[in-house]
Chains A and B, each alone.
Chain A
């Protein structure tokens, strides 16, 4: 690991100010919460920042509060705390499930919600300092000629990473908002709008500017009659990212679907929402045939690489299973 300077900050304002300063000085800086993910990038010589801005020392940014029909979760709330929080478990079940599926118990005890959403890709070409890939400033996405068995089938090109977060698909399915602090103050946007496709900018995964940080996630309580489902397929049951994951939230009433959200992880460079499938489900009685059809619609337009065609069927099956479990 290259030497760096760690700065423990005491406030969001101080963090933003430092990031602004480093940017003006043309120094590289990275923001860490739990640090578990970024440390690995540094050890692997993929990231070599001059400064680490450590948010963990900001007091009180790890809250989980329920007020006025909505949850507010501080950026430093740990994955393990979200996994175990009684009110989150009761009302935002797919979020606690998704947080509990991430990484390993050790990492969940250190890793934060904001950090989980802002992870860099776990593409093996990106994570190896031996491949100077497109996303790191090189010329090539090695997936195209190499091994893309775990890579994107939707929204890919010119880079084919998949977004590694477990909590992000669940939060998008729950209609979460994200609060961002920067030099000009704070703004709150739907989480869905936070992520960036490679065709827009293949060097980044989200809209955060170098002098901005995530401060809070807001999650509305699901409407009455809602049920959710989060399922993650992977090769190894701990410390492995989703090959395909599916988050569904279905609000039913009078025997039919009032509103549905279908979001996939592991299939695209961003958490991939399937609005056409959601539209198809509205007003339908949810049975096996409808759930299967919704899965097919959700994967329309999938463009697998040579090694990852299996993900299409896997995602369709998983959506079917998720929807049927959500009634």
Chain B
């Protein structure tokens, strides 16, 4: 499903649309299978030659299996063992900007203005597609209207635009419709998660097993993993996840790909177990919070406990929590929480800083600003590292002919990958500045510092010259760096604890989120406004997934029923609460200026948080997303 069949270029879009409608395609109708469990049955129609259990390579192999400790003895230690199944649905990334690409050829050189989350990857892919050396391809993307993980590299639409441009000898702009975008790219993999959890009387987890299927659609573009157990201390663990092929829309990366669906399953079930064991959910989550990764590997920094404590304090958990369903009348108050986060790791980054003769600086980075404020963040890091005021920094980004390599703005990698390169490039150019200024100030270079645009002697700060004077005759100084930091035998992670209060109208099924507190350990916050906005945006996407979004495929025809904003029900401002963001700020030793990651963590906890609040309000556990009015009315009234 979603394969490109034909592309037409024309002098205007209406002609192109009418021309497309004139193409006759004859399809041979084959049997289809939509449900991943059905797809695994022996007599199911085969989607590909290798069968419906997706067998990829390396990270994409199947089934995905992982284990530690001793599951059997873990369950033996338990006072009670619980088993249940949680289900999540396919939701689309639904970024505002549909797929769009503009391509033109000029004397054998191809330029693509792409809507991509990574100009370097896009260039590599396009060059490969056309058999061109990298030097003959330029990809430009300075800003774009969001992707949330489904614009990581060059895509079919870049190829189509470039091919049509080549054939027509004209620049070509290619744009997907919203329906093309929903069907022709990918969304989040749906899942069916079966858990078995052993706990002691006080709620302490002794063992967890997870058997799951994830629906990847027709192609395996990404892992299909489920990682929501990452935020808990689980001494004995085993998981087996089967990524399955079906005749549905492809599933791949969408903001924290393996997390919100599995956090929903696991944190909902823990909340349920807390209820059945008579343990307050706050104590349940606190008791079982992650202290070591996979119960043995130390974290580079971990302030999940402080997130829980401060978040609970802010929302007033101890005063507001009550027995589930305790409110009288049809409108019921509820409060809930869940834990989340996302891996933080440093890696390959590159940056160049040019210092002009007037003391201003020009930073060059390959990052595209996908809506996260990355451009400003890079400038802030450069200003801090260089010692030049922010308003003296100019930044050029996202152009493979001009800017250095970037890994791609996905996986919350922008700041931890490119940030250290910006710092290193600043250090490189500072050395050159100090070499010049040393003669003018009649000291050795290593006696100098640069702050606020002034070079001064560390031992005697009043002995100083403006940067502009230090570099006036240098023409231009260029600092550059390619960095590739890593750490061993440690795990990096940003953590979050989310809390929500809701009012559920059990007669109409309407849920109003009356308060939302998101406490995050993302290390040092570098760009505060942008970071807060990331948290709010992630929560809103989680609310959509929790309450309304779901891509439906018609059972009989296998045609998508609601591939659009109207019917797949992306939330609006009216569903969106004011999100109170608490940053629990402690520098991480491995992050640039102590920063970890911000972009992906907020969506991970949001879905389970509101689901748990709905349980506290209604006393009913919703084990299948989205939690729509019909499900609430059915559970409470019918």
The contact size tier of chain B is 35 or more
Q: How far is the CB of B344 from chain A (nearest CB, A)?
A: 34
A318-B330 Cα distance, complex, nearest whole Å? 11
A321-B507 in contact (CB<8A): yes
Indicate whether B638 reaches chain A with its CB closer than 8 angstroms: yes
Across-interface contacts of B567 in A (CB, < 8 A): 124, 127
Q: Is B442 an interface residue (CB 8 A)?
A: no
B510 lies within 8 A of chain A by Cβ: yes
Interface status of B320 (Cβ within 8 A of chain A): no
Residues on B with C-beta less than 8 A from A314 are 507-509, 629-630, 633, 637
Enumerate B512-565 residues with CB–CB distance to A below 8 Å.
547-548, 552, 554-557, 559-562
CA distance A45 to B17 in the complex (A): 10
Measured between beta carbons, the chain B residues less than 8 angstroms from A237 are 572, 574-575
> Is A310's CB under 8 angstroms from B633's CB?
yes
Q: Contact check, A147 vs B548: say whether CB atoms are below 8 A apart.
A: no
Contact between chains at B569 and A235 (CB < 8 Å):
yes
Give the shortest distance, in Å, between B409 (CB) and chain A (any CB): 30
Selected from A3, A142, A147, A149, the residue in CB contact (under 8 A) with B14 is: A3
Which of B507, B510, B547, B552 lies in contact with A147, CB distance below 8 A? Answer: B552
A240 contact from B560, B569, B634, B637, Cβ within 8 A: B569
CA distance A128 to B559 in the complex (A): 10
> Do B509 and A236 touch (CB < 8 A)?
no
The reply to whether B634 and A310 contact each other, CB–CB distance below 8 Å, is yes
User: Across the two chains, which residue of chain B brings its CB closest to A149?
Assistant: B630
A235, B566: Cα distance in complex, Å: 11
Q: Mark A1-13, 1 if CB is under 8 A from B, else 0.
A: 1110000000000
Do the beta carbons of A236 and B569 come within 8 Å of each other? yes
> By the criterion CB–CB under 8 Å, are A318 and B508 in contact?
yes
A272 to chain B: which residues have CB within 8 Å? Answer: none
Q: Which of B21, B574, B630, B637 is the one whose CB lies under 8 Å from A238? A: B574
Check B548 against A236 for contact (C-beta < 8 Å). Answer: yes
Q: Is the CB of A317 within 8 A of B507?
A: yes
Chain A positions within 8 Å of B629 at CB level: 233-235, 243, 314
The answer to whether B572 and A236 have CB atoms under 8 Å apart is: yes
Q: In the complex, what residues of A have CB within 8 A of residue B17's CB?
A: 1-2
Q: A3-B18, A124-B562, A243-B630 are in contact. Are A233 and B508 (CB under 8 A)?
A: yes
Q: Does A38 contact B (CB under 8 A)?
A: no
Tell me, yes or no, whether B571 is within 8 Å of chain A by CB.
Answer: yes
A202 CB-CB contact with B under 8 Å = no
Binary interface encoding of chain A residues 159-188 relative to chain B, with 1 for a CB under 8 A from any of its CBs, else 0: 000000000000000000000000000000
The winner among B330, B548, B569, B633 for most chain A CB atoms within 10 A is: B633
Q: Mark A237-274, 1 if CB is under 8 A from B, else 0.
A: 11110010000000000000000000000000000000
Contact of B571 among A104, A124, A149, A236 (CB under 8 A): A236
Q: A149-B630, A310-B630, A310-B634 are in contact. Are A125 and B569 (CB under 8 A)?
A: no
A-chain residues with CB within 8 Å of residue B575 when the two chains form the complex: 236-237
Chain A residues with CB under 8 Å of B562's CB are 124
Cβ contact of B556, chosen from A146, A235, A238, A243, cutoff 8 A = A146
**Minimal Cβ-Cβ distance residue in A for B630:** A310
- List the B side residues contacting A311 at CB < 8 Å: 630
Bound Cα distance from A309 to B634, whole angstroms: 8
Indicate whether B628 reaches chain A with its CB closer than 8 angstroms: yes
Question: A2 near B18 (CB under 8 angstroms)?
Answer: yes
Contact across chains for A147 and B561 when beta carbons are under 8 A apart: yes
Which residue of the partner chain, among B18, B547, B572, B638, contacts A309 with CB atoms under 8 Å? B638
Is A85 at the interface (CB under 8 A from chain B)? Answer: no
Give the dominant DSSP class at B's interface. Answer: loop
Docked Cα-Cα span, A237 to B634, in Å, equals 20
Nearest CB of B to A315, in Å: 10
Shortest CB-to-CB span from A149 to chain B, Å, is 6
Q: Are B628 and A145 in contact (CB under 8 A)?
A: no
In the complex the two chains form, what is the Cα distance from A75 to B118 in whole Å? 52
Considering only CB atoms, which chain B residue lies closest to A235 in the complex?
B548
For B18, the chain A residues whose CB sits under 8 A away are 2-3
CB of A130 within 8 Å of the partner chain: yes
Q: Measured between C-beta atoms, what is the minimum distance from B401 to chain A in Å?
A: 37
Mark contacts of B352-368 with chain A using CB atoms, 8 A cut-off: 1 yes-contact digit, 0 otherwise: 00000000000000000
* Interface set, chain B 6-22, CB cutoff 8 A to A: 14, 17-18, 21
Which single residue of chain A is at the shortest CB-CB distance from B635? A310
Asked if residues B561 and A239 are in contact (CB atoms below 8 Å), the reply is no
Contact A146 B555 (CB under 8 A): yes
- Given A238-B574, A310-B638, A130 contacting B507 (CB threshold 8 A): no
- Bound-state CA distance A41–B333 (Å) is 41
From A2, A104, A124, residue with most partner B Cβ within 10 Å: A124
* Alpha-carbon gap, A206 to B552, bound state (A): 30
Measured CB to CB, the closest approach of chain B to A36, in angstroms, equals 12
A243→B556 CA distance, assembly (Å): 24
Cβ of A313 within 8 Å of any chain B Cβ, yes or no, is: yes
Q: Provide the A294-327 mask, 1 if CB < 8 A to any CB of B, else 0.
A: 0000000000000011110110011001000000
When distances are taken between beta carbons in the complex, the residues of chain A under 8 Å from B21 are: 2, 45
Cα(A243)–Cα(B547), bound, Å: 15
A1-28: which have CB < 8 Å to B? 1-3
Please tell me if A280 contacts chain B, counting CB pairs below 8 Å.
no
A200 to chain B, nearest CB (A): 27
Question: Complex formed: what's the CA distance from A318 to B507 in Å?
Answer: 7
Q: In whole angstroms, what is the CA distance A231 to B634 when docked?
A: 19
- Distance in Å: Cβ of A17 to nearest Cβ of chain B: 29
Instruction: Give the CA-CA distance A52 to B575 in the complex, in Å.
Output: 36
Q: Mark A116-131, 1 if CB is under 8 A from B, else 0.
A: 0000001011011011
Q: Nearest A residue to B638 by beta-carbon distance?
A: A313
- A282 to B556 Cα, complex, angstroms: 47
Hey, which chain A residues are within 8 Å of B556, CB to CB? 142, 145-146
A142: chain B residues within 8 A (beta carbon): 554, 556-557
Tell me the bound Cα distance from A130 to B560 in angstroms.
9
Among the interface residues A45, A122, A309, A317, which one has the most CB atoms of the partner chain B within 10 A? A317
What does the 1/0 interface line of A207-242 toward B look like (CB < 8 Å)?
000000000000000000000000101111111100
Contacts A142-B554, A240-B569 given; indicate if A233 touches B510 (C-beta within 8 A).
yes
A251 to B628, CA, bound (A): 35
Smallest beta-carbon distance B1→chain A, Å: 12
Q: Is the CB of B630 within 8 A of A313?
A: no
Q: Which residue of A lies closest to B631 (CB)?
A: A310
Residues in chain A near residue B547, CB distance under 8 A: 235
Report chain B residues within 8 Å CB of A235.
547-548, 569, 628-629
> Of residues 559 to 602 in B, which have CB atoms within 8 Å of A's CB atoms?
559-562, 566-567, 569, 571-575
Please give the distance in Å from B166's CB to the nearest CB on chain A: 28
Shortest A49–chain B CB gap in Å is 15
Q: Which chain B residues lie closer than 8 Å to A318 at the CB level?
A: 507-508
Smallest Cβ distance from B19 to chain A, in angstroms? 12
Contact A239 B572 (CB under 8 A): yes
Most buried by A among B509, B566, B574, B630: B630
Q: Residue-by-residue, is B604-638 near A (CB-CB < 8 Å gives 1, otherwise 0)? A: 00000000000000000000000011100110011
Provide the bound-state CA to CA distance between A308 and B560, in Å: 20
The answer to whether A124 touches B572, judged by C-beta atoms less than 8 angstroms apart, is no
**Contact across chains for A146 and B630 when beta carbons are under 8 A apart:** no
Cβ contacts under 8 Å, A233 to chain B: 508-510, 629
Most buried by B among A233, A235, A240, A311: A235
The 8 A-B pairs of least Cβ separation, nearest first, read A237-B574, A317-B507, A233-B508, A310-B630, A238-B572, A313-B637, A310-B633, A145-B556
20 contacts between A and B (CB under 8 A): A2-B17, A45-B21, A122-B566, A124-B567, A127-B566, A127-B567, A131-B554, A146-B554, A146-B556, A147-B554, A149-B630, A236-B571, A236-B572, A237-B575, A239-B572, A243-B630, A309-B634, A310-B630, A310-B637, A317-B508
Extra contacts, 7 of them, besides A142-B556, A235-B547, A314-B629 (Cβ < 8 A), are A125-B561, A142-B557, A147-B555, A238-B573, A238-B574, A309-B634, A317-B508
Q: Which residues of A contact B (CB under 8 A)?
A: 1-3, 45, 104, 122, 124-125, 127-128, 130-131, 142, 145-147, 149, 231, 233-240, 243, 308-311, 313-314, 317-318, 321
